[in-house]
A and B are shown apart, each in its own frame.
Chain A
């Protein structure tokens, strides 16, 4: 049938791709539904953008959900100033390319009090530069809904997270007293000051994320692909050694090897894996035979048992 081309404000219109398989299509449909529902029911939503692969999928789904309109809310990046350099470059490119409203927030205490992952340890550093910073940014923006890319398969305490996760005015999560969530009917009623964290990727697994990235040709930070990179071995992790702020401890040397990252966070707290998977197909092939979870490379999850739940109660994503 004849089609008239409509003018819209979307930059970089989509290209034609082969249809998704029914599994990914079902997950995509669910995520788009959640995006639209939150955008319609809340006054001031925001999307947490961490630049990683899950955030990249989340952003892609947001663009799909609101097409042919623009993404109708800003993206918030909590910048600890300790992210990988390539992440920041990628973030700014994407914001420009897709015409996004990007809000970047850094907790001023970091610079004022000299808080670094080296000086204060991962637990305190994360609490101040991520959790506290996130609360500051959400309060400053007056956001009543925040999208996040968390998945229920990531960690035990996430398995009970609702898709609309209710938070008190001081951002507390009460796992014992969550609102029941039936069918796909979401309760978006909150009082002033209260908010929800909304998780469109709740039912996705790590393999789904990668397969979707492949099917939809979603651009990623190159650190996810193996390359010859400098690294230092510390506390059983391979830490990328290219930032001048990384000081070598006695006995440490910079080594070189084919490495890549399964998750991206602050470079001093994120361990690489040895890999030769230098493109998407190889990464997926590697993942399908993987015997360890992706969060294994995250120092903050390993501080203590139940540490993620504790952080979440305090307002961490």
Chain B
């Protein structure tokens, strides 16, 4: 049990990762980014080989298929990875594959994504669940534009730990100066992306130097960790800080007397007695019990799949989010988001899509605002279709109230996919930036000023001569003082 779980005020904790006294043994999810030329397949193959994740019969099949070995007497690692026949035929990796290996200290899930063709789309997919990115650079070539692009996408998808693998260091005669220059350039660039946890490692994946085993003989000047040591020390992201979030997947009613809400805690923690709000309805209730198959629990934290029982009969359905009373998510009809366009048709302005976030699916209209130019890292105005592999900023408009956190606060409740209503395919992955101000106290709409005023004030103003003279420039909306106050508080930073 962690301190978070038993804390009496578990709903509002600072967004900081506390130092862990006990080593976290959850699997570390990582993504490898680099092109074929950088030796990515060789690196992953080497990781699997040296951690004994490849068994003898698999190696035998490999040897049989390749019919040849490399000059170190090892099988061709790329063949080990390119599982599909189509890939073997074309000699390229075409999609995301997942690899598993473990050391005595930890286990790892690697999202292996292609380096060139459609890499944005596949990288975004692989990066969405990753805690760490390994970026490969060829020591002879240095930091390429492609490495910068990969780092940009990884940072955009919320990865905050980078390992720069300066590969093929043997081919530059283990020159420390080369390594220092590349890692310095990379560090500067990563910092500009907001990534501060950076480890640079000189290595030869082919020879197995500084991957699993250290290379003191060939690189006595390097005293940092091997790749595997760096991965063992990496942190797994936790959303236990922040407000409690439970997207409701199912309502379970096995008998008349029991009604539970099943879902996976997407943020914060919860314990019996906590007051919660059901969104979007806004109904308030208290948690009476947390039920799991392993008997009743006295607390649950982010990541736990639970069944929550409330103390009163309330209307809760799949797609609702049960949240802590303090530190609630944003609710609204308009949000700003970043998204990655995943399919050939692109994301069309004004088109209505299905949006799925957590367990909630609702209709949304999407308006592109700008597009990220990967070569420069600059956002350029862009209001037309976002083509496949484009990264764009968009405005989302919902007919029904939507519930989100900002992605940089919560990678679950801030993430969504878009589904094409015709093909039913997944066409975009998106990340919420912020809620957009709604109607606002004062804003322009077709050059008319809209004033939302308490009803009595509105009547007074409309009766005035000044108003009569400028009738077509202004529109008055009547509302109660309470509604007006809410509008102002919701508008937040826009005023």
Chain A contacts to B: CB under 8 angstroms = 1, 3, 6-10, 14, 16-17, 19, 21-23, 25-29, 32-33, 36-37, 39-40, 63-70, 152-153, 155-160, 175-176, 178-185, 187, 189-191, 202-203, 205, 207-208, 290-293, 295-296, 305-306, 309-310
CB of B113, distance to nearest CB on chain A (Å): 11
Whether the Cβ atoms of A203 and B263 lie closer than 8 Å is no
CB of A299, distance to nearest CB on chain B (Å): 13
Cβ < 8 Å to A, chain B residues 124-168? 124-125, 128-129
Chain B contacts to A: CB under 8 angstroms = 24-27, 52, 55-58, 61, 64-65, 80-86, 88, 94-100, 102, 107, 109, 121-122, 124-125, 128-129, 249-250, 252-255, 257-258, 260, 262-264, 272-273, 289, 291-296, 298, 303-305, 307, 318, 342, 354, 356-359, 411-412, 415-417, 419, 424-426, 429
Neighbouring B residues of A14 by C-beta, 8 Å: 293-295
Most buried by B among A25, A26, A39: A26
A1 to B80: give the CA distance in the assembly, Å.
55
A1 to B296: give the CA distance in the assembly, Å.
11
Neighbouring A residues of B354 by C-beta, 8 Å: 189
Neighbouring A residues of B97 by C-beta, 8 Å: 159-160
Whether the Cβ atoms of B58 and A293 lie closer than 8 Å is yes
Whether the Cβ atoms of B263 and A36 lie closer than 8 Å is yes
Neighbouring A residues of B86 by C-beta, 8 Å: 175-176
A185 to B289: give the CA distance in the assembly, Å.
27
Whether the Cβ atoms of B254 and A203 lie closer than 8 Å is no
Neighbouring B residues of A205 by C-beta, 8 Å: 100, 102, 107
A203 to B356: give the CA distance in the assembly, Å.
23
Whether the Cβ atoms of B294 and A6 lie closer than 8 Å is no
Q: List 13 A-B contacts (CB under 8 A).
A: A6-B257, A14-B295, A19-B294, A23-B26, A23-B27, A36-B263, A40-B250, A160-B97, A180-B429, A183-B429, A184-B412, A296-B57, A306-B85
Whether the Cβ atoms of A292 and B415 lie closer than 8 Å is no
Whether the Cβ atoms of A26 and B293 lie closer than 8 Å is no
A153 to B51: give the CA distance in the assembly, Å.
14
A155 to B54: give the CA distance in the assembly, Å.
11
Task: Say yes or no: A291-B415 contact (C-beta < 8 A), given A68-B307, A203-B27.
Answer: no
Whether the Cβ atoms of A16 and B294 lie closer than 8 Å is yes
Query: Top 8 closest A-B pairs, CB basis?
Result: A156-B83, A32-B305, A64-B293, A182-B128, A293-B55, A69-B254, A182-B429, A159-B97
CB of B61, distance to nearest CB on chain A (Å): 7
Kindly identify which residue among A8, A36, A185 contacts B262, using a CB–CB cutoff of 8 Å: A36
Kindly identify which residue among A17, A67, A305 contacts B64, using a CB–CB cutoff of 8 Å: A305
Whether the Cβ atoms of A29 and B100 lie closer than 8 Å is no
A1 to B88: give the CA distance in the assembly, Å.
60
Whether the Cβ atoms of B262 and A16 lie closer than 8 Å is no
Neighbouring A residues of B412 by C-beta, 8 Å: 183-184
Neighbouring B residues of A156 by C-beta, 8 Å: 80, 82-84
Whether the Cβ atoms of B57 and A180 lie closer than 8 Å is no
Whether the Cβ atoms of B425 and A179 lie closer than 8 Å is yes
CB of B250, distance to nearest CB on chain A (Å): 5
Instruction: Using CB atoms, name the residue of chain A closest to B55.
Output: A293
Whether the Cβ atoms of A68 and B252 lie closer than 8 Å is yes
Task: Say yes or no: A10-B128 contact (C-beta < 8 A), given A23-B107, A33-B264, A187-B424.
Answer: no
CB of B494, distance to nearest CB on chain A (Å): 29
Neighbouring A residues of B426 by C-beta, 8 Å: 179-182, 187
Neighbouring B residues of A296 by C-beta, 8 Å: 55, 57
A-B contact sample (19 more), CB < 8 A, given A29-B305, A160-B95? A7-B258, A8-B258, A29-B304, A36-B305, A40-B249, A64-B294, A68-B260, A68-B291, A155-B83, A175-B95, A183-B411, A185-B415, A185-B417, A187-B356, A187-B424, A187-B426, A203-B109, A291-B56, A305-B64
Most buried by B among A3, A63, A153, A180: A180
A191 to B420: give the CA distance in the assembly, Å.
13
Whether the Cβ atoms of A70 and B289 lie closer than 8 Å is no
Whether the Cβ atoms of A160 and B83 lie closer than 8 Å is yes
Neighbouring B residues of A295 by C-beta, 8 Å: 57
Neighbouring B residues of A32 by C-beta, 8 Å: 264, 305
Whether the Cβ atoms of B95 and A178 lie closer than 8 Å is yes
A176 to B95: give the CA distance in the assembly, Å.
8
CB of A234, distance to nearest CB on chain B (Å): 18
Instruction: Using CB atoms, name the residue of chain B closest to A185.
Output: B417
Whether the Cβ atoms of B295 and A66 lie closer than 8 Å is no
A64 to B307: give the CA distance in the assembly, Å.
10
Neighbouring B residues of A183 by C-beta, 8 Å: 128-129, 411-412, 415, 417, 429
Neighbouring A residues of B84 by C-beta, 8 Å: 156-157, 160, 175, 306, 309
Whether the Cβ atoms of B294 and A17 lie closer than 8 Å is yes
A26 to B291: give the CA distance in the assembly, Å.
18
Instruction: Using CB atoms, name the residue of chain A closest to B106.
Output: A23
CB of B25, distance to nearest CB on chain A (Å): 5
Most buried by A among B56, B84, B88, B412: B84
Whether the Cβ atoms of B249 and A37 lie closer than 8 Å is yes
Task: Say yes or no: A65-B254 contact (C-beta < 8 A), given A159-B83, A182-B429, A185-B357.
Answer: no
Instruction: Using CB atoms, name the residue of chain A closest to B109.
Output: A203
A178 to B94: give the CA distance in the assembly, Å.
11
